Structure 1
Amino acid sequence: MPVSLVFDLDGTLVDSAPDLHYCTNILLGELGKPELDLKTVTGFIGHGVGPLVKQVLVQTGHAHIDRDLQTMTDRFIEIYAANPARFCKPFAGVLETLETLQSLGHNMAICTNKSFQLARLVVDAVGIDRFCPVLIGGDSLPERKPDPAPLYECMHRLDTETCIYFGDSETDAKTAKNAQMPFLLHTKGYRKTPAHALYHTASFDDWSQVVGILSSENICSKP
């Protein structure tokens, strides 16, 4: 049977930065603070909504972060839930590639640090749900990436002992390394570290390359 595949969401399957940027600036407007640019907000992506909101508050000099963080996080979630895919879209070639992988018999899942509720809204809105019936969010387990437990849970639900993980960030690379799992790095995502410095088995900058990588290389036998 073809190897099972697990994908990160933000920066890997979808370009969600524009929506997160949009929602961040709505929150900042409500707080009477100046807007942040897209590049700054993109740099905060990858650890879940709570850490993103905390970094936004730090960046804008909020005076009572510990006191207000949960309230601000809850408000951000409300804003984002109303705008889950205003600008978000799959990266070019994602839907076509997932359709091909599905036709080849690969079972697929999504493993993200975004909350399950918000991830479900995004996945359904952009049409990825039909390819990836298994979704593990950042609040689905007590542990979250880079702890390998969410990846192991994906494997359990896919009923497989081996899989390949796809991601774009430092967190994803650490997760795959901690799980001792082959890792395909999407280099057009949100990482800050040079690709060569991150743990990965292979890399790609275009989703049209993925089927070829999986078929031409014995990925599962590589670290």
Structure 2
Amino acid sequence: MTPVRTVVFDLDGTLVDTAPDLVSALNFVLDREGMAPVPLDSARNMIGAGARRMIERGLEVDGRAASLAEIDRMTADFVDYYGAHIAGASRPFDGLEAALDDLAGRGYQFAVCTNKLEWLSKKLLDELGLSGRFSAICGADTFGVSKPDPAILRQTVARAGGELSSTIMVGDAGPDIGVARRAGVPVIGVQFGYTQVPIADLKPDLLIGNMGELPAAVESLTSRRSTIKKSI
């Protein structure tokens, strides 16, 4: 049987523009600690490595040191606040649903592989009416590993019922490129997400500037992979 063709997406900065609600949660925590808020534009690139790392980056901006116990407490506060306000201003990136419809019509299935907690990921996608589109939604706590560890991508694909040999990754930052490379999966970089290092510098297989370009990019990589297999 031919394996199901699977497109695996990062979540924050790839599927959904979550920055407004994530930064709001960060600033809630910083305010409780007596620190100034971080502007949305400069905080966007703090996103992508999980809540704890986002708080650590927020503390770094203020030049403040904190103990592990303090960071644990702030992370718990962040998650509680964010969970209660998860889709206040977060929205799918323009063209996402049309792109998914197009690819689904071509026989692709979808999964999410994120460093966000699984329950938060599912809640966000539920509230946006998107979760039913994905065969698997996996987070940093699902398998006990985070991107770029390739185990999280391998197990996400397995949970979706796919195979790595017919999988393409889509993401916006270093952990996404890294997990794809380590798992031996082609990767598409999106130029509208959250990253401290420009996505082009990370050398994904293809770059897209908007979701309208996604179906053609996926088909291009699928065709390229098929051609390589036939030549071997």
Query: What TM-score do you get using the length of structure 2 for normalisation?
Result: 0.89
Q: CA deviation at 1:14?
A: 0.6
Alpha carbons of 1:57 and 1:5: their partners in 2 closer, same or farther (altered >3 Å)?
same
CA contact (8 A) 1:58 1:65 kept: no
CA contact (8 A) 1:177 1:199 kept: no
**Aligned counterpart, 1:76:** 78
CA contact (8 A) 1:112 1:136 kept: yes
CA contact (8 A) 2:46 2:194 kept: no
> What root-mean-square deviation, in Å, do the aligned CA atoms of Structure 1 and Structure 2 show?
1.7
Q: Secondary structure in 2 aligned to 1:107?
A: strand
- In the TM superposition, 1:97-136 aligns within 5 A as 97-136=99-138
CA contact (8 A) 2:26 2:54 kept: no
- In the TM superposition, 1:187-206 aligns within 5 A as 187-206=191-210
Whichever residue aligns with residue 9 of structure 2, its letter is: F
**Aligned counterpart, 1:46:** 48
Q: Which structure features the higher share of helix residues?
A: 2
Alpha carbons of 1:9 and 1:214: their partners in 2 closer, same or farther (altered >3 Å)?
same
CA contact (8 A) 1:46 1:169 kept: yes
From 91, 95, 102, the counterpart of 2:93:
91
CA distance in 2, matches of 1:142, 1:215: 32
Query: What TM-score do you get using the length of structure 1 for normalisation?
Result: 0.93
* Alignment of 1:220 onto 2:225: yes
CA contact (8 A) 2:113 2:156 kept: yes
Q: Structure 2 stretches of 5 or more lacking a match?
A: none
Higher deviation after alignment, 209-218 or 104-113: 209-218
**Aligned counterpart, 1:25:** 27
CA distance in 1, matches of 2:33, 2:139: 28
CA contact (8 A) 1:21 1:42 kept: yes
CA contact (8 A) 1:99 1:131 kept: no
- In the TM superposition, 1:52-71 aligns within 5 A as 52-71=54-73
Q: CA deviation at 1:209?
A: 1.0
Alpha carbons of 1:151 and 1:39: their partners in 2 closer, same or farther (altered >3 Å)?
same
Q: Structure 1 stretches of 5 or more lacking a match?
A: none
